[in-house]
Amino acid sequence: MSVGGASDSGIGRSWLLYFSLAFASMTFSATGPVAIIIAASREGGLSFAQTSSWLFASIGMNGLASIVISWKTRQPLLFLWTIPGAILAAPVIAQYGFGAAVGTYLVCAAVLLVLGVTNLVALLDRWVPMAIVMAMIAGLFIKYVLAVVHSTIAAPLIGASMSIAFFGLMWLERRNAAPMPPLIGAMLAGAAILFATGFRLPSHSGGAWTATPGLVAPRFDIHAISQLLLPMLVTVIFVQNAQGIAVTRASGYRTSLRLVTIYSGVLSAITAPFGGCPSVLAGPSNAILVSGGTHGRHYIGALIAGVICVAIGVFATAYVFLLANLPGAYIAILAGLAMMGVLEKSFVSAFRSALPLSAMIVFVVTLSDVTLLGIGAAFWGVVAGCLAYYAVEKPRSGDVPA
């Protein structure tokens, strides 16, 4: 029997390929990025239940939506959560509470919907140079990468083993000889050292391993909104969705910025009441999904990845229990190593651009962590960088450099 000229064995091999791509994609998404959620929740002082609900919304609910969207469009459109957004949210949660952050997520969702429906997002895409956005990301991420150094000094065995495994596998990966992704190797090396030195997980004190999502009452705090909204919108539209769209378009798909923005707005509105930060088209995860297989069938990998997301979301309590009880140094190093590649690309995009002065101003202001008028440094970094760009570095032709 055949379908479309393909034999059963050929179809089986095809599904196996897409399963392996989906598994690799979710292995990436469920390690470093989840460690970032755990690190952000610790910084924000969230409870175990709140963190589990956040993870359920971010992975499980987005995974279910990705199945529907990928099936409808026949494109590999895997939506997850904004990693920079989680980092941005942590100090807001600590200062104003989880409800204020959720209120800002809902405002962000509404703005995304308006920008998408009216297609104003296309205009905004031309107004803010990518170098300014990437400089802001570099300023946000660098403290987490620096935590690798501080945590290695505090826990040298864990830090050394994870770093050696990570960079050793990266060296092999660039020679197409790595047996596993560098981040997975670092995770396993650190875990081996932990258990070899006597670390044991505490026993689970009753309760189900499955997630029990909890609704978070939103609070619309003007200070939290003014601090978080603009940087969140910038990262969602210009960093994460732009990256995800670039990945799918490079693979031959006609992915619409307008539709992706609308999807982000709708999904963000759905996940926010459960603590999930805004939803985005996941660039690295989708890049893995389209790295093999046949054009026009990559959506199969996205469907499988969505199912895996739902499974992780259902058992979010067990997953958070595991990560939350690991030593802080292990989580900090894992999160920092996960961000290293993004930080490198951010520096390259920002400072190899035609506007190094604007990028430097954004980076320095964002890194300063200053708060002015109750608004955080990421906002002021973008404002200062845009002022420098339009006053000094904008080309006379009016073209916005990438």
Closest by CA to 288, choosing from 301, 303, 279, is 301
0.85 exceeded by pTM: no
Residue 125 has which token pair? 């895409």
**What is the distance between the alpha carbons of residues 41 and 36, in angstroms, rounded to a whole number?**
8
**What is the distance between the alpha carbons of residues 211 and 100, in angstroms, rounded to a whole number?**
23
Can you give the pLDDT at residue 346?
80
Mean pLDDT in each 10-residue stretch from start to end of the chain (402 residues)?
A: 44 68 73 77 82 90 95 93 84 90 96 94 78 82 86 93 92 85 84 88 69 88 90 84 77 87 96 94 80 82 92 85 78 78 81 90 90 73 90 70 48
How would you class 8 by CB atoms within 10 Å of its CB: exposed for 0-12, middle for 13-18, buried for 19 or more?
exposed
- Angle (CA) 189-313-340 rounded to 5° is 40
In angstroms, what CA-CA distances link 307 with 90, 155, 272, 294, 322? 28, 37, 21, 21, 21
Can you give the pLDDT at residue 5?
44
Output the average pLDDT for the chain: 84
Can you give the pLDDT at residue 321?
80
Can you give the pLDDT at residue 260?
94
Can you give the pLDDT at residue 330?
86
Closest by CA to 276, choosing from 20, 24, 64, is 64
Can you give the pLDDT at residue 2?
38
Digit-coded pLDDT (tens) for 192-201: 999 898 888 7
Can you give the pLDDT at residue 121?
86
Residue ranges of the domains in the chain?
Answer: 12-343
**Assign residue 277 a region: left if phi > 0, alpha if psi is -120 to 50, beta otherwise?**
beta
Residues with Cβ within 8 Å of residue 354, at least 6 apart in sequence: 131, 393, 395, 401
Closest by CA to 111, choosing from 264, 336, 330, 2, is 264
The bridge status of strand 2-3 relative to strand 79-81 is unpaired
Q: How many CB atoms lie within 10 A of CB 117?
A: 13
Digit-coded pLDDT (tens) for 341-361: 778 878 888 888 888 999 999
Radius of gyration over every alpha carbon of the chain, rounded to an integer in angstroms: 21
Q: Which stretch of DSSP H or E encloses residue 6?
A: strand 6-7
Can you give the pLDDT at residue 399?
54
